[in-house]
Homo-oligomer: A and B are copies of this chain.
């Protein structure tokens, strides 16, 4: 068994299985603490035989250096904080994974905080992170709308991911939703589609607006315009997708391509089309945004989608934070390039 509690098998409370310290190792190896330290840290000027003795002692005692003590001298803790606005949402997770991955391969550990979209909680977690002297912080928003920066004097670098800071002197990383819109259009155009409808989500979201902008501009560049003249805004749900698609095919039976605000809308639209006897992708192509696996690969045909590369976004945020910790980083907003994932629906 692995030891399951802090207590040992020893007599009773007394002589707790204190984690071995450098001193213990030094004593066992018969050297001074300093020498032991040097040996373990691969510093120069330590006789090989001595180093070996120390290493052996360390292994025997299962010695692990106390990071807290180390941080005291170095000033750096090798930790960063990740404040997510809404872990529940499906956008935070991939970003978080990307960041965790980028950091994990290095030496830094990640503190996870869920602010649940509440400013008070955010403040609370922020304080906790500063008390722990994290070397930096990544703030992950729930939507791509710009958000006010963290309040107060933050003595460490901060990177805003997904939701950019409204302060342009901050460093932010966001998906390139305009480009995503353009990509959706070129994808359909290259499949020979010309009469394209855009069933979007909630117009209050920056993402909805930016994608619509990208779509409009790409169509214009091709000398085309949306079927129905403009995008249909509604909700980010399947239900909205079903209803909106119904109206589109009723009013514009010539439609041969649908760009949907996200994969849920896309799925709803697909359902309506199939129910009305339309053949997808033969008669009309369907493509959404987000590339949410469960939504896109569940139905038949499977749904094409624009992947916003959120994991890459998280990784980039981690790298930027890393650089900021080392020195300066150019402030402003970075945009992560999306990619088209073609499946059966287009």
Contact = CB atoms under 8 A, between A and B. Distances in A.
A3 interface: yes
A110 B114 CA distance: 11
A114 B125 contact: no
Interface in A151-197: 151-158, 167, 169-171
A113 interface: yes
A244 interface: no
A46 interface: no
A204 interface: no
A145 to B, nearest CB: 19
A315 interface: no
A152 B2 contact: yes
A5 B327 contact: yes
Contact of A154 (B3, B150, B157): B3
Nearest to A121: B104
A106 to B, nearest CB: 10
A237 interface: yes
A52 interface: no
Nearest to A71: B68
A93 interface: yes
Nearest to A1: B169
Contacts of A329: 4-5
- Counting chain A residues whose Cβ lies within 8 A of the other chain, the interface size class is 35 or more
Most central of A5, A107, A124, A239 by chain B CB within 10 Å: A5
Contact of A68 (B5, B17, B133, B171): B133
Contacts of A128: 107, 109
A332 to B, nearest CB: 11
Interface stretch (A22-30, A245-253, A294-302): A294-302
Contacts of A291: none
Contact of A298 (B4, B82, B133, B264): B264
A86 to B, nearest CB: 10
A133 B129 CA distance: 17
Interface string A318-342: 0000001101110100000000000
Interface stretch (A34-42, A94-102, A208-216, A225-233): A94-102
Contacts of A133: 19, 64, 66-68
Q: Which 9 A-B pairs have the closest CB atoms?
A: A112-B112, A238-B298, A68-B68, A68-B71, A1-B169, A2-B154, A67-B132, A64-B131, A2-B149
29 contacts: A1-B167, A4-B157, A6-B155, A6-B157, A7-B328, A17-B155, A62-B153, A62-B155, A64-B127, A64-B130, A64-B131, A65-B131, A66-B133, A67-B133, A68-B71, A68-B77, A69-B72, A87-B97, A87-B100, A93-B93, A97-B114, A100-B114, A104-B113, A104-B125, A109-B113, A109-B132, A110-B112, A111-B111, A242-B300
